[in-house]
Amino acid sequence: MKGHSLLTLKDLSQEEIRFLIDEAKEFKTNRSRFIQNQPLRGKTLGMIFQKRSTRTRVSTETAMVELGGHALFLGKDDIQLGVNESLHDTAKVLGRMVSGILARVFDHTDVKILAKHSGIPVINALSDLFHPLQGLADIMTIEEHLGKLKGVNIAWIGDGNNVCHSLMVASIKMGMNICIATPEKYEPDPTILEYCIKNALSSEQVKMTHDPIMAAKGANVVVTDTFISMGQESEKQEKLRKFKAFQVNSQLVQHADKDFIFMHCLPRHKEEVTDEIIYGEHSVVFDEAENRLHTVAAVLKNFL
Ligand code: CP
Ligand code: NVA
């Protein structure tokens, strides 16, 4: 992993994901030891953010400091990128200065360009296609609450988006089954679906439906995300109309396993999940948010 980029969980083997989750658990239980050992002493991370962030930014900056390194926040109004300078030149310059780049971008091609031209590790902090750091925190949270990954049944309810794609890849890598319920025309990206079907252990592992109740049936994990991802604001009215039947609420979760957990990467909106569910006894959303810190610490320690 050292010196490599993490653009999607497809880049990692099952063993590497296992190792990162174990490291994240270690960070969670023995945080003071990492703070004392300072494994990233002298390392710097340039954090390019073309979009807003709470969890990703705060978890990464905190982890860099606790591991002994330094993080530079490079927001869209802070650097020349996009106004005065190309991504290619930005990558070349950062590559000569910092130890790694973490980037939240609109177009997934941009993280690839950064990795190609910087020559240093690039970590995808969310693109239109993937959110691998969220995927790792989701795996950790599922294992923490259900005690296993293999054979766990996940119901993804809502948009076939970046977070969904990373959970699909995580599922096929770690032996979980995922049933994705979306409205028509909002299915996952066909190339990612094809990759998952091709690499699945069986046809049970990745399923698609337009019926949220069918997906929720017997699910151990019910998970959703915003219906309006960052950059899709102009589609809001149309999407809200089409996603009406996809809200996670008390009627829908009646179909899930009685000990199901509810997950959401946050930030949430009332249209995709009711207060009753997100603040209810099955919800693990704040453990999931906390695990963003522990998993990114494991990633930074092993990739930079
Ligand atoms: N879940 C997540 O990535 O949150 P932020 O947008 O706040 O970073
Ligand atoms: N799908 C959402 C995730 C936010 C963390 C988005 O891309 O905006």
Choosing from 128, 265, 282, 294, the catalytic residue is 265
Q: How far is the CA of 226 from the centre of ligand 2 (A)?
A: 7
| Rounded CA separation 304/45 (Å) | 9
Whole-number pLDDT of residue 82: 83
Q: Does 204 have pLDDT greater than 90? A: no
pLDDT digits (tens, 9 = 90+) for 129-178: 999 999 999 999 999 999 999 999 999 999 999 999 999 999 999 999 99
Q: What number of helices (H) and strands (E) belong to the chain?
A: 13, 9
Record the pTM.
0.98
Q: Domains, the chain, ranges and CATH?
A: 9-131+292-299 (3.40.50.1370), 135-289 (3.40.50.1370)
User: Hey, whose CA ends up nearest to atom 7 of ligand 2?
Assistant: 229
Rounded to 5 degrees, φ, ψ at 54 are -110, -65
| Rounded CA separation 284/277 (Å) | 10
Whole-number pLDDT of residue 191: 98
Choosing from 145, 165, 264, 292, the catalytic residue is 292
Would the CA dihedral through 80, 85, 87, 88 be positive or negative? Answer: negative
Q: Please state, in angstroms and as integers, the Cα–Cα distance from residue 95 to each residue in 150, 245, 294, following that order.
A: 39, 47, 26
Rounded to 5 degrees, φ, ψ at 91 are -60, -45
Q: How far is the CA of 292 from the centre of ligand 1 (A)?
A: 9
Whole-number pLDDT of residue 35: 96
Whole-number pLDDT of residue 46: 98
pLDDT digits (tens, 9 = 90+) for 18-41: 999 999 999 999 999 999 999 999
Angle in degrees, CA 268, 180, 147, rounded to 5: 75
Q: Using an 8 Å Cβ cutoff, are 295 and 166 in contact?
A: no
Angle in degrees, CA 118, 120, 123, rounded to 5: 100
| Rounded CA separation 86/84 (Å) | 7
The single-letter code of the amino acid at 3 is G
Per-residue pLDDT band for 83 (boundaries 50, 70, 90) equals: confident
Q: Does 95 have pLDDT greater than 90? A: yes
Q: Which ligand is nearest to the CA of 128?
A: 2
User: Hey, whose CA ends up nearest to atom 4 of ligand 1?
Assistant: 55
Compute the average pLDDT of residues 35-61: 98
Structure tokens at 207: 């399923």
Cβ of 36 below 6 Å from ligand 1: no
pLDDT digits (tens, 9 = 90+) for 262-300: 999 999 999 999 999 999 999 999 999 999 999 999 999
Give residues (CB < 6 A) around ligand 2: 126, 161-163, 225-226, 229-230, 265
